[in-house]
Structure 1
């Protein structure tokens, strides 16, 4: 018995069936537009048909889409229940064909260049003698074999940490991005990371022109050398690298120096060093010799000046000695005269003292009394005249030794 569906049930049943489908559809983009910076709408067409497509900005980040571009979209069909419209829900977009790939390449290159991912000032220098190298490559490729062969031939003792990845096809981009993430999270410290692949068509090199790989190179903790394709191939990975090599073999040549060249550089440097040392020693020896000659001249002049100064000193010393002798004689004469004057002065003082002593002794009342004179006192006063006395006055007579009292009997 035929099952009967409602319209909603039938649409839901179809969508459930469609969601199990994962298909890829190729066509030319038309009527491309972005709505509210959230949803992408465009048509995919060929000569005989058209397919409405829908995607979200979240699912298709920075889409490389424009009208007229031939692309391959991955996703599943869907019927919208309310409108009944049939559309294709897009999960992934890839340009198809040489022309589309070139146009997508130019669009992405301009956008990433504007963001500064290719700026020369952000590129890091590589060490001259690396020791530990992270290598992202396909181990089964000729590019890998050539790279390792040239690397070991040019320089030895390297530690190479290989992460084997697909370098084309659907798995290439996620594996290369995962390899960079693995190296960034590793406990090892790499001197640099090399990303290599042999030549191929633009389609073959699609992974190295993808935005994901370019941003992985830009975000690497370590300097990145990219050697992809042949000399004529220019991938976006090349522009993002810190150092761009034309081929995998050229990448090996740029990463490590040639040991023979280093040996020759060392020998040249050694000869230059020896020559420089010889020149330095000769120059210094000449300078020392000149200095010795100047020193001898200076010492001779100083010695002559010193001899002249010494002779002048002795001459002055003799003059000072003679002057000192004269001054000593003068001082001795002066002292002699001072002694004579002092003795004379002392004698004069003694003479004056003796004279004064005699005068004092002569004027001393005691001296007069000692010679037999006496002093008369009345009422305690010395009597100088007889007129000061009256008859019967009692007077005291002082002698040199002792005295006595007397009465005036008569005046003369």
Structure 2
């Protein structure tokens, strides 16, 4: 990977912006495309066909509105059964990716089929759209596959590899389940009738089945075409027993796959998928049992250690020491309290003495004790000036100790 990819400039830069280099965003788009479209089927016309000496093939697949770049690497091109050329109508299967250096998206093809006149594919497209409009592909119409499967029905050829693969998986998983087989032809005109009949038979006579496996091994588009027929699609949709389609190889998709409650990429994978839950539950139960035992043993050990600590603790072996410690602590608190009260009392007494002394200094009695006196008129008002009395007025004189009455003889 280039140095640009190793330079980390992603993340917020303080202003809320997430910044990529051109290389980083190109590879990010490549990963998103490959994860989102690992397998696609595309019908179109070849243009700009180029075959290189390396064996790699490059062309565009187009319809009247759009074109997409296509790459078939040599490892896939050697399996082609015809010689592609411009103007040829083909059906390609591959994964959507991109070429980061140019910023182009493309389809990397692992399989390509010639469509001839294209009438089959037009019928396929029309039927697919019509069934989709009727709700045949809706997730809400899908029936759940039971977690524990005890009885399954198989609709396939009795002579095909698909049946052998399914039975081998059942045997390898040691699945003690009941298996019912309804042999049918899986290609040709008769298959269009026999497959729906088998599905209807199981629904009428073996309603206790947990799941139906309907499928066949791989083949050409023409070999698998029975599973694109409307009769098969409607039988699967009408089935009260959950149906798992297992038709062809991983890259093969038929109408039956879209209608089925679950699609498996191969017949053997179908058996693994429906029985995996059963085995997973067994393993999960065993794991939980061991985990529970371990947890219980750990708790018992932990509690026993705690009990041993309690038995050896001072509270149980020498409880009187705790009592003595508490008594000593109370005595210490009592002593500290008495000291605090004495200190507080002394401080307050000193404050009171200081205030009393200051009040005594400014008291009128203190002035009188220094030889001064206060004169009052007959209305007991303080005489501040000699002009406030007249000759002959009665007055009283207050001393520090005692008082006397007098009469004014003269005023100056």
Q: Using structure 1 for the length normalisation, give the TM-score.
A: 0.44
